[in-house]
Amino acid sequence: MGNAFFVVWRESLEAFLIAGILFAWLKANDDSGRGRRALSLGLACGVGLALLLGWALLAIQDELTGNALEAFQTGILVLASGLITQMVLWMRKHGRQIKSKLHTDLSAASKRSGFLGVAVVAALAVAREGAETVVFLYGLAQEGDMAALTIGAFTGLLAAAATAWLAVKSLTRLNVGLLLRLSSYLLLILSSALLVSACDRLIGAGWLPPLLDPVWDLSFLLDDTSSAGKLLADFSGFRSRPALTTLITWGGYWVFVFFSFRRSAHFQVAPKS
């Protein structure tokens, strides 16, 4: 439930902020109100595209059985982990330019295709966030209870709306930028957990050798099948009795993230020199 809440809150907050940026630009540049109506249509279409992706994933799952279903679900876990990581790295590199880029895209679209262009920009912006959310939730659904997942997703959506509203109204000293940066680190931890789950599935199916299993046994301290251990395992990828392949996968992921962060920091500093 907690993972679903966090993922939906983070992704929905971005979608709400994007919608707010587009609305503010249209309010300043469109006196007729037609642009804002086109924006509403585009936002609705973006949500619809994300729901269509969710339906497609479930439809594909219903057609698969046995090893094919296992491979599909494992692939979604890897894809969800990759999307989270890519999103965080992209935001780290381009986050400060998002507002100006959206304004540029919207201005170009409105000049080229009129209000249809406005709707398309809005639809694509929201569909991207929505599609990522759908993939993440599908991946989390492989590891958790559907009822808790649904409650977490719904409360995460409400929390994102409340956070965006507070930011817009400035009723609190809410530093959305800092909030997004801190949540990015938590997203990376969750991403590593999804990758570890995919690795466990591959080992369990016999498609990946464990190499050494287990490397150590910490179940006497915290068993990952207990309530507290499972909560930690679901969020961080903790394993009380990990296989060597799992540890290599987890360590390799964080090495990649570390060097990617250093590279993005270099690109941010380089233009100033």
Pair 216, 241: CB distance under 8 Å: yes
Residue 45 near residue 123, CB atoms below 8 Å: yes
Give this prediction's pTM: 0.78
Place of tokens 């997203």: 187
In angstroms, the CA 90 to CA 100 distance is 15
CA-only gyration radius of the chain, Å: 21
Rounded to 10 deg, the angle between the 98-141 and 34-63 helix axes is: 30
> Token match 């694509």: residue?
124
Number of C-beta neighbours around residue 63 at 10 A: 9
Q: pLDDT tens track of the chain, all 273 residues? A: 667 888 888 888 878 877 877 777 777 776 677 777 888 888 888 889 888 988 998 898 888 888 898 999 899 999 989 988 988 887 777 666 666 766 677 677 666 666 677 777 778 878 888 888 888 888 878 766 677 788 888 898 888 888 877 776 655 556 667 777 888 888 899 899 999 999 999 999 999 999 998 999 998 888 888 878 887 888 888 899 999 999 999 999 999 999 988 887 655 544 444
